[in-house]
Structure 1
Amino acid sequence: MKKLKIAGFLLIIMLLALAGCGSAQDDDADADSGNDNGGDKDSAEEVRVTLGTGGTSGTYYPLGVAMTEQIFSDVDGVSQSRAVSTGASVTNAQELSEGKYDAVLIQNDIAYYAVNGGTLDDFNDETVDNMAGMTSLYPEDIQVVTTADSDIKSLDDLNGKNVAVGDQGSGAEANANQILEAAGITYDDITPQYMGFGDASQGLQNGTIDAAFITAGAPTSAIQELGANQDVNVLSLSDEVIDNLISKYSYYTERTISGDTYADYGQEEDINTVAVMAIMVVDSELPEDTVYNMTKALFENRDELEAAHDRGTDITLDGARNGMSIDLHPGAEKYYDEEGISAD
């Protein structure tokens, strides 16, 4: 009987020792994997990607939907992806900082100010410290639109008018402010109306506003929607205004939009203007492999972007780093290095 009791006692001791070893090994494995069960974005688990875009009548939204539904949804490391309509660039930067989005579409000028601070009041006191570049997309044209029967033929004619300048705090509104300044016009000289592109199009149709600033790749659906009801006139900027802008703000480039772009909507002449670059940025805490896979998938499925919007044809691997105003995420940089894509 004594022998049986001793054997049983030894067996219990051995089982407890093995359990302790197993627990230590599990703890070591968790430490090696970086998994502290806190749900941070550095864990090996798949992430859900929410992409902040812009208004539904702009260019960001249809491209963002194509990215999330047709491309990123099949990427290794992404369990789910969706695009949401937002107030666009400035809002996107602020809400990326707050963790509401994992990636956003944004103007390169707004991204620069978000990371570095500076001219825009929105980022003077607090910059965004979790933003990293993924890819440059296409030029975003600054379009000042009115109706063909309007007496507004140039920026000078905006004095005393009701002018839609974009959603308050948006990238479009920042552009409107800078362009008016370059023309010697302030908000005191006009009646600024803060509204998105779709609302601006409706306002022009019903006569509650006289002109609208729209920053988006041409052709822009808001202008096409207006043109479906009455002829449009997209103003050209003078050489002086363009020179003033480019000399003061390095991210602007001179741009000519062919008159054919809106020929079906009454536009008769080419449009001389400026553009910024639309870029895609991500939360810098997203895993390197995930962003690498997202970047790779984006350029291997460009046909989905081309089908979503005309500006999809402007998104090329060769131009992926052109106009990128902030540091790249290591995952995106790894992909470009493998493909031999250098900065311009």
Structure 2
Amino acid sequence: MKKLRSSFLFVLLLAVSMVIAACGNGGDDAGNGGEGEAVTSVSILTGGTGGTYYPLGGAMASIIEDETELSASAQSSGASAENMNTLKGGEAEIAFTQTDIASYALNGELMFDGNKVENVQAIGTLYPETVQIITTKDSGIESVEDLKGKTVSIGAPGSGVNANALQILEVHGLTTDDIKAQNLSFDESTDGIQSGSIDAAFITAGTPTGAVEALAATEDVKVISIASEKIQELIEKYPYYAEDTVAAGTYGIEEDATTVAVKAMLVVRDDLDEDTVYNITKAIFENTDKITHAKGKLIKAETALDGIGDMPLHPGADKYFTEKGVK
């Protein structure tokens, strides 16, 4: 009897130790984007309805539903910075953001000072996010310096647009004290330009941007160029920028406008399981022909790791890009 009792106790202790070990390993894996959480539906945080994220998010949600067993939906939002904080709170699974904002969030800088976002990983970068300084031909504004004293929309406080606007003003020796700053969405900005309540607006989005296209239907739009030496100064101080161009013909403009861009990227909560994120990544990057927006042509697996910066890649995305030979 004693021998039987001893054997039972040994088996019981062994079972308990195995459960404890399994729980310990599971916690480590989940924290590093390993097994993670299997889900049946995903929500994609985009931006305002007048921007580029929103229509792209809708197209990607449709692709995910068609190509995987997941249900998916796109949600309008306050875009990059808000999206990172929403993912931090666990209230969505996937989001669009700018690469510069992702870096700020990861490192707890600028609008994320003391508020690091550490539970988010990258799926991949998508296309250039062009900083567009929008006005009209009749405004008399020809340069960034001409914004002095004007009523200018610089995006919502803490937004990616706001950071871009402040940095561009900075290299031109200007601050918000030099302009009449307004914190408006894309649609509000273009409506304000049309009504005459504001003179110009900073809009960071893929071109063509829906809100600006709507403005161009009724007004002669002008995109303000940034001087080459100021572009170089900006890139030297903030290396996540790259020189970019709004091509002639966009919004009906007659000549190229030189400016800068960051990159749009997709990010995901790190507690989603590897298979789910693998399937999502594969679905999106192998079905870009189903994206009717002009930016769909720029979304390629071959360039999806360009400009990803210090944001870690989710293991599911890493598995897909490794299979494709993308480094």
**Partner AA of 2:300 in structure 1:** T
Deviation at 1:34, TM superposition (A): 6.7
Deviation at 1:83, TM superposition (A): 0.8
From 237, 262, 283, the counterpart of 1:297: 283
What pairs up with 1:64-75 in 2 under 5 angstroms? Answer: 64-68=57-61, 70-75=62-67
State whether residues 168 and 195 of structure 1, in contact with CA within 8 Å, keep that contact through their aligned partners in structure 2: no
Instruction: Report the Cα distance in structure 2 between the residues aligned to 1:75 and 1:283, rounded to whole angstroms.
Output: 21
Instruction: Report the Cα distance in structure 2 between the residues aligned to 1:75 and 1:132, rounded to whole angstroms.
Output: 22
Is 1:250 matched up with 2:239?
yes
Deviation at 1:72, TM superposition (A): 1.3
Instruction: Report the Cα distance in structure 2 between the residues aligned to 1:96 and 1:218, rounded to whole angstroms.
Output: 26
Instruction: Report the Cα distance in structure 2 between the residues aligned to 1:96 and 1:191, rounded to whole angstroms.
Output: 33
Instruction: Report the Cα distance in structure 2 between the residues aligned to 1:43 and 1:241, rounded to whole angstroms.
Output: 45
Structure 1 pair 289/184, CA: closer, same or farther in 2 (3 Å)? same
Q: CA RMSD in A?
A: 2.2
Question: What SS is found at the alignment partner of 2:70?
Answer: strand
Q: Which residue of 2 aligns with 1:47?
A: 40
Number of equivalent positions: 303
**Partner AA of 1:218 in structure 2:** T
Instruction: Report the Cα distance in structure 2 between the residues aligned to 1:46 and 1:274, rounded to whole angstroms.
Output: 38
Is 1:56 matched up with 2:49?
yes
Q: Which residue of 1 aligns with 2:9?
A: none
Is 1:275 matched up with 2:261?
yes
TM-score scaled by length of structure 2: 0.88
Deviation at 1:240, TM superposition (A): 2.3
Instruction: Report the Cα distance in structure 2 between the residues aligned to 1:175 and 1:298, rounded to whole angstroms.
Output: 28
What pairs up with 1:15-164 in 2 under 5 angstroms? Answer: 45-68=38-61, 70-76=62-68, 79-118=70-109, 120=110, 122-164=111-153
Instruction: Report the Cα distance in structure 2 between the residues aligned to 1:195 and 1:100, rounded to whole angstroms.
Output: 25
Q: Which residue of 2 aligns with 1:9?
A: none
Q: Which residue of 2 aligns with 1:329?
A: 314
State whether residues 117 and 125 of structure 1, in contact with CA within 8 Å, keep that contact through their aligned partners in structure 2: yes
Please identify, of 205-214 and 251-260, the stretch whose mean Cα deviation from structure 2 is larger: 251-260
**Partner AA of 2:290 in structure 1:** E
Deviation at 1:258, TM superposition (A): 1.3
Q: Which has the higher contact order (CA 8 A, sep 6+)?
A: 2
Question: What SS is found at the alignment partner of 1:259?
Answer: coil
Q: Deviations over 1:58-77 (max 9, x none)?
A: 00000001111x2112454x
Deviation at 1:129, TM superposition (A): 0.8
**Partner AA of 2:123 in structure 1:** M
Q: Which residue of 1 aligns with 2:197?
A: 208
Q: Which runs of 4+ in 1 moved over 3 A?
A: 31-35, 41-47
Deviation at 1:227, TM superposition (A): 0.8
State whether residues 38 and 273 of structure 2, in contact with CA within 8 Å, keep that contact through their aligned partners in structure 1: no
**Partner AA of 1:323 in structure 2:** G
Structure with higher Rg: it is 1
